[in-house]
């Protein structure tokens, strides 16, 4: 299960955070700070992407899912950057909802996601 999806900028500011496991706000912030401090996830342009998953998820599948999410964001924003996530957070959350829903992978086929994004536009 995916417990959270986090996106940071180079300075460690959270640009997108979606939690699928109920946590109190102070614990969420502590988790975000801790994740950025030890982040060894995927880095695209000026953004760092992290998926917090439990031990049942495959590391390789998680990295592939991050790649799919980034490609979907690139499709939605024509080469996604930090400002896209700041000023168009609703669209970024919609893209995330096309990939992950309720902590479970909804769709991992980038062509299907692109088609859904075109239909929504």
What mean pLDDT value characterizes the chain?
90
pLDDT band with cut points at 50, 70 and 90 for residue 11: confident
Q: Kindly compute the dihedral angle of the four CA atoms of residues 94, 15, 80, 75, in this order, to the nearest 10 degrees.
A: -20
Helix (H) or strand (E) holding 65: helix 59-77
Q: What is the mean pLDDT of residues 60-83?
A: 94
CA distance 64 to 9: 20
Statement: the pTM of the whole predicted model exceeds 0.85: yes
* pLDDT tops 70 at residue 83: yes
Please state the separation of Cα 85 from the chain's center in Å: 11
Residue-wise pLDDT for 24-48, tens only, equals 988 988 888 888 766 555 677 889 9
* pLDDT tops 70 at residue 70: yes
Residue-wise pLDDT for 92-105, tens only, equals 999 999 999 999 99
Q: How many CB atoms lie within 10 A of CB 62?
A: 18
Q: What is the mean pLDDT of residues 50-64?
A: 91
pLDDT band with cut points at 50, 70 and 90 for residue 6: very high
Q: How many CB atoms lie within 10 A of CB 87?
A: 10
Looking at residue 96, its pLDDT comes to 97
Residue-range domain boundaries for the chain = 2-120
CA distance 34 to 27: 10
CATH tag, 2-120: 3.30.450.60
């Amino acid at each position: 299960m995916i417990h959270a999806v986090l996106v940071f900028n180079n300075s460690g500011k959270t640009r997108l955070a979606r939690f699928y496991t109920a946590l109190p706000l102070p614990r969420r912030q502590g988790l975000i700070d801790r994740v950025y401090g030890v982040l060894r996830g995927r880095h695209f342009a000026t953004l760092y992407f992290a998926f917090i998953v439990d031990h049942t998820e495959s590391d390789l599948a998680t990295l592939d899912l991050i790649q799919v999410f980034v490609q979907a964001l690139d499709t939605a924003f024509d080469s996604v950057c930090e400002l896209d996530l700041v000023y168009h957070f609703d669209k970024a959350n919609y893209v995330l909802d096309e990939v992950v829903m309720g902590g479970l992978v909804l769709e991992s086929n980038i062509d299907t996601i692109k088609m859904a994004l075109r239909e929504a536009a």
